[in-house]
A = this chain, B = another copy of it.
């Protein structure tokens, strides 16, 4: 029994390694500057490269606060706060007080922002249709289903941002001294 289980285990390990490779390829593709450039060009508006992803996220997941946005892009909330402010100046998004929580100032896409995103959507869909041109409909359905499920499971399994575990200060003793890159560094992530 241990034999078959080990076979299973190595098979799963291989599969997970392949999955990681696919993740790296996808992240690499998303990181290509040319991709954003083309989509920005489709937007028809001279938009800063850093502001572009935020606009898309706000239009897609808005109304959304700065903290949630910062968590998505992996940057400090202060950085995102300034970028959102610039995006507001451009007129593509607007801020409004949160309905249930008055601490948050939700960001929402304006009509112009939504129109811009629709142009971007058209370009993106054209790009994806080109990439998946020779795909079977059944396979696309399976990809969307499985990848959506994986994205949810992966995001949920990831460790959340530890705020301030002020209690249990005795825990993790022995980690003092070492500059374990505690929290600083602008690592983009992707490994």
Contact = CB atoms under 8 A, between A and B. Distances in A.
Interface of A: 8, 12-13, 15-41, 46-53, 55-57, 60, 71-74, 120-121, 124-125, 127-132, 135, 137, 139-144, 146-148, 150-162, 178-181, 183-191
Nearest to A145: B18
Contacts of A56: 24, 191
Contacts of A180: 40-41, 46
Contacts of A49: 181, 184-187
B189 A148 contact: no
A174 to B, nearest CB: 13
A190 B120 CA distance: 13
Given A47-B181, A142-B142, A181-B49, A36 B147 contact: no
Given A12-B129, A23-B151, A143-B146, 16 more contacts: A16-B125, A20-B124, A22-B150, A24-B57, A25-B151, A25-B154, A26-B155, A29-B151, A31-B73, A32-B189, A33-B183, A37-B181, A46-B178, A49-B186, A52-B187, A120-B191
21 contacts: A15-B144, A21-B148, A22-B144, A23-B151, A25-B152, A26-B150, A28-B72, A31-B72, A31-B189, A34-B162, A35-B159, A39-B191, A41-B180, A47-B181, A49-B186, A49-B187, A53-B188, A53-B191, A142-B142, A143-B146, A146-B146
A36 B188 CA distance: 9
Contact of A146 (B20, B147, B189, B190): B147
A51 B71 CA distance: 21
Contacts of A72: 24, 28, 31
Contact of A27 (B27, B35, B40, B185): B27
A65 to B, nearest CB: 15
Contacts of A125: 13, 16-17
